[in-house]
Amino acid sequence: METTSKQLIDRARAGGLAIPAFNIPYLPMMQPVIQAIVDADAVAFIESARLEWYKFEAKGPGPIATEFKKYAGANHVRLHLDHVPVVDEDDIYVDYLPIIQEAIALGFDSVMVDASRLSLEENIAATSLAVQIAHAAGVPCEAELGAVLGHESGPLPPYEELYTSGKGFTDIDEAARFSTETGCDWLSVAIGNIHGAVSGAQRDAKKVEARLNLDHLEKLSRATDLPLVLHGGTGIRKEYLREAMKRGIAKINVGTEIRQAYESAFREAGTVVAAQEAVYHRTFDYLSNDIEVAGKRSILTNERINA
């Protein structure tokens, strides 16, 4: 029997590991990312967020699912619906539930609702609706609490100011309430991590090297008793990533660095093939060196136990 997304995340958390989730803003990135995962003998999520359908060239959940099925191997990859916002990065309300329903119908293995721009009560209410739909289909649902900044238009405040002040950090008491009342399976938290910029001149800029408040993370893990998710995995130093995995982070989203590898190689060489090669190498390196999950597939899929 195929290991489910929920089982993979649960095993990662129990083993002090994290499953990387790679965003695909350009469809030609799909094949080299999956190939790198297979060649590294790792397990990872392939994911697509709503903003990538409009601000990049991913085209939508249908094209993503079709491209995924061309290359997917059951022992290595699962398909995840990333950020479906209730209020998006441009402060526009989104009819989010039909998007989640469409993704489930297309075969996505897990979904995410992001109501983090709403009040706590509104976030709980919106997330609960998405969780009900996902669970009725046997699909786990990720949610977000706190402000993982970076996707909004305009420049961010200086990073040091954000980190020192704790602005947007996920509140521990709110997280405990949120996890209980929504029934979500995984929770994206803000502990110093930020998203890579997706608009304007910052889109091509090197991402800030973020730090993580590991003590705050540990408190969140205890308060929620959920697998926690780290969005904005690009630019965080390896020692923070590895320690975060020991303290409750079971999924790490990676977008900016493989996107920029693709875009940079395409600009320089002018060919999709060169861009795909760059993505392959960066993905393989991330799996092998940044979070050291190469060769861990059989542990996460339970194959050694079942053998």
Residue with tokens 């990872």: 44
Q: Indicate if 82 belongs to the active site.
A: yes
Give helix then strand counts, H and E, for the chain.
14, 8
**At 9, is the secondary structure helix, strand, or coil?**
helix
As a residue count, the chain comes to 307
Which amino acid does the sequence have at 172?
I
How far is 151 from 54, CA to CA, in rounded Å? 13
How far is 23 from 221, CA to CA, in rounded Å? 25
Handedness of CA 170, 171, 172, 178 (dihedral sign): negative
Task: Name the residue among 58, 57, 32, 35 with its Cα closest to residue 47.
Answer: 58
Angle subtended by helix axes 214-224 and 172-182, to nearest 10: 30
- Paired strand residues for 186: 142
Q: Choose, from 10, 82, 109, 114, the residue flagged as catalytic.
A: 82
How far is 300 from 179, CA to CA, in rounded Å? 24
Provide the token pair at 66: 């079709």
In this structure, how many other beta carbons lie within 10 angstroms of the beta carbon of residue 236?
Answer: 23
Residue with tokens 């960066």: 282
Cα separations in angstroms, 209 against 60, 196, 265: 30, 11, 22
Provide the token pair at 25: 């803003």
Active-site residue list: 82
